[in-house]
Amino acid sequence: MKYEDAVAKYDPVIGIEVHVELGTATKMFDAAPNSFGGGANTNVTPVSLGLPGALPSVNRTAVEYAVKIGLALGCEIAESCRFARKNYFYPDVPKNFQTSQYDEPIAFDGSVDVELDDGEIITVPIERAHMEEDAGKNTHVGGSSGRIHGAEYSLVDYNRAGVPLVEIVTRPITGTGAGAPEVASSYVRTLRDIFRALGVSEARMEQGNVRADINVSLRPSPDAPLGTRTETKNVNSFRSIERAVRFEIVRQAELLDAGETVVQETRHFHEDTGETSPGRVKSDADDYRYFPEPDLVPLVPPRDWIEELRSGLPELPAERRRRLLGEWGFSELEMRDIINAGLLDAIEQTVSAGASPAAARKWWTGEISRLAKQDDREPAELATPVQVAELAELIEAGKLNDKLARKVLAGVIAGEGSPRDVMAGRGLEIVEDTGALQEAVEQAIADNPDVVEKIRGGKMQAIGALMGPIMKATRGQADAGKAREMIIERINA
Amino acid sequence: MSEKSAITSAEVAHLADLARIAMSEEELSSLTGDLNTILANVARVSEVATEDVPATSHPIPLSNVMREDVVGETLTAAEALAGAPAADGDKFVVPQILGED
């Protein structure tokens, strides 16, 4: 079945669980560093390993970050909440339970506005945001990998075990129709941007700092009760999120069309095929026997602390985007390109340093991005906003044209100093000496009588044919506008 | 035994399964009896609990015990692995999980 037919026939409903790893210095319940790199099983304490008698203690900064996330998502912050044990056996969970929150999350009942590509705003309802800890990492060895013939086992590194997470759960998102895949990915992107603006996480999808579980169900019409949902786990890129939603919508529509039923289950997404497949089928998979964590006392976030955090919230991405859009006068599309390229900060700082928004945008999204891509680097690593602003100022003042400015920029990137230094050092300033320019113009006119004849006859575009020799004579340093004026003046004289 | 069991032998078997504890029929039956006695005793608490006594998960009136986000002492990989039944290099070795991807 085609996707278009599936969404024409059925009303998709999605729900998303996002896990974000907090960028604290230490883990959620112990003082082991929350960092990667270094040897396996070195960022661990007896608490990370769940050794007998080890007692957890709550990281104040992690709680602060969770509250900030809750506030940014318009949630209520619990008057009182507690931690709970989620019991299951898996080797990456050394305690045989994950310390999480169950019936008393720290934040609940919020919403977040998500802007789609066409500018439409969808309000996604947030059910809850709760604190928990990450698991360690399993590496499967043996069998097909052939490391030890016939051996099948896993290696476990607990460096990540206990890293603070906040899980954000939406209510069912309805009314998206065919736009469900885009709403899902835009929602996660919006959260990602919020985490970064809050400074609570590096929020790098490719590093697994942000992971999404995607619930999809279909119903015959928007008035019908919700259908049976599937949950596709750990979808880790925006593109994969869209593909997973599309795939599930089509797969479920085909089942329903064939008179079959959708099985409520966990599924896995496969990057290579874009398909999902069922996960482990375990009848007791959801029987986690949650109970209050006896080793941790309740959290009663003081109201004055909450208000202090609320008043200290930074400008959130959506507000900032609206403000800058108004100030800069770019189109929505231009603005989205800037954001997707991660150039908003650089351009804003370049404008603050004195450049026009148009010039700042042109250099960052143009030449600098191009050079960065060539070297597989980030644009912000090549030049500073102050340097770009200075470059724009030199162009504005008529001392550089675009071609020369690109050479100056190359010098700046090569570490030859500020744009002014490079311009002086490489002798790239536009020739102000009208004598030299006049000479070049005279020579070009004398050498090309046929072109001059055309210009006299009204063919103004023929002027271009004279610019080449002029630029050549002045080593590209002539002000093209001025040269043009001089040609017209000379010919009409 | 009370005439109506608070917990059935099937529930105990389910819990044993979740806890990965193999139990014989005799053990199940004996444990079900023990658990029912314990539950009956605990249930007596509700006889003295009145409406002005709120339910609690923590008997000590303590809240907001938090630590500062400062890195402390950690174990070395060798220390971490000291009690492990099996290790390979600096990682723990565990049996393959059935049905794992």
- Averaged over successive runs of 10 residues, the pLDDT of chain A (493 residues) comes to 96 98 98 90 96 96 98 97 94 95 97 88 97 93 55 89 98 96 96 95 93 97 95 94 97 97 93 89 69 95 97 92 90 86 92 94 95 91 95 91 92 93 89 77 89 86 86 81 84 76
Domain boundary among A310, A345, A361: A310
Closest Cβ opposite residue B64 in set A24, A61, A300: A300
A286 in the same domain as A325: no
Q: How many domains does chain A have?
A: 3
pLDDT band at B100 (very low <50, low <70, confident <90, very high): very low
Nearest CA in chain B to A269: B101
Residue B2 located in a structural domain = yes
B67: chain A residues, CB-CB within 8 Å: 31, 57-60
Domain boundary among A426, A458, A479: A426
Test the A interface: residue of B7, B68, B81, B97 with most A CBs within 10 Å: B97
pLDDT band at B2 (very low <50, low <70, confident <90, very high): very low
Q: What percent of chain B has pLDDT over 70?
A: 90
Radius of gyration of chain B (CA): 22
A265 in the same domain as A189: yes
A306: chain B residues, CB-CB within 8 Å: none
Residue partners of A76: CB distance under 8 A and separation at least 6: A70, A107, A108, A109, A110
Q: What CATH number did the domain enclosing B16 receive?
A: 1.10.20.60
Domain boundary among A252, A285, A310: A310
Terminal Cα-to-Cα distance of chain A (whole angstroms): 74
Is A31 close to B20, i.e. CB distance below 8 A?
no
Measured from the Cβ of residue A218, the count of other Cβ atoms closer than 10 Å reads: 25
B10: chain A residues, CB-CB within 8 Å: none
Residue B89 located in a structural domain = no
Q: Which residue has the higher pLDDT, B1 or A141?
A: A141
Question: Strand A76-77's sheet: what is its strand order?
Answer: A76-77, A107-115, A121-133, A164-170, A11-21, A210-219, A230-235, A266-270, A275-278
Buried b (16+ CB within 10 A) or exposed e, B17-31: eeeeeebeeeeeeeb
For strand A230-235 and strand A210-219, is the pairing parallel, antiparallel, or unpaired?
antiparallel
Closest Cβ opposite residue B91 in set A40, A57, A268: A40
A158: chain B residues, CB-CB within 8 Å: 80, 92
Is A31 close to B70, i.e. CB distance below 8 A?
yes
Residue B29 located in a structural domain = yes
Tokens 């990682």 appear where? B91
Domain that holds residue A374: 315-426
Q: How many domains does chain B have?
A: 1
CA distance A32 to A49: 11
CA distance B66 to A299: 9
B63: chain A residues, CB-CB within 8 Å: 80, 297-300
Nearest CA in chain B to A82: B57
Is A91 close to B101, i.e. CB distance below 8 A?
no
Is A294 close to B69, i.e. CB distance below 8 A?
no
A438 in the same domain as A350: no
Closest C-alpha among A171, A197, A173, A193 to residue A183: A173
Q: What pLDDT is recorded for position A140?
A: 82
pLDDT in tens, B41-52: 988 887 887 788
Test the B interface: residue of A24, A30, A41 with most B CBs within 10 Å: A41
A306 in the same domain as A450: no
- Report whether A229 contacts A254 (CB < 8 A): no
Residue B33 located in a structural domain = yes
Token pair in block for residue A383: 């030049």
In this structure, the dihedral spanned by the alpha carbons of residues A33, A34, A35 and A36, taken in order and rounded to 10 degrees, is 110
A64 in the same domain as A100: yes
Q: How far is B14 from chain A (nearest CA, A)?
A: 9
Domain that holds residue B12: 1-45
In this structure, the dihedral spanned by the alpha carbons of residues A366, A372, A375 and A378, taken in order and rounded to 10 degrees, is -160
User: What is the dihedral sign for C-alpha A252, A258, A262, A263?
Assistant: negative
DSSP at A143: G
Tokens 């460096």 appear where? A159
Q: What pLDDT is recorded for position B97?
A: 67
Q: What pLDDT is recorded for position B1?
A: 41
Q: How far is B98 from chain A (nearest CA, A)?
A: 9
Q: What pLDDT is recorded for position A148?
A: 45
Distances (CA, A) of A175 to A13, A220, A237, A263, A326: 8, 13, 23, 23, 30
Nearest CA in chain B to A58: B66
Query: How far is C-alpha A176 from the geometric centre of its chain's CA atoms?
Result: 22
Query: How far is C-alpha A311 from the geometric centre of its chain's CA atoms?
Result: 25
B4 has a pLDDT exceeding 60: no
Q: Which of A477-481, B35-39, B67-71 has the highest mean pLDDT?
A: B67-71
Q: How far is A400 from chain B (nearest CA, A)?
A: 51
Distances (CA, A) of A36 to A42, A259, B9, B77: 10, 49, 47, 14
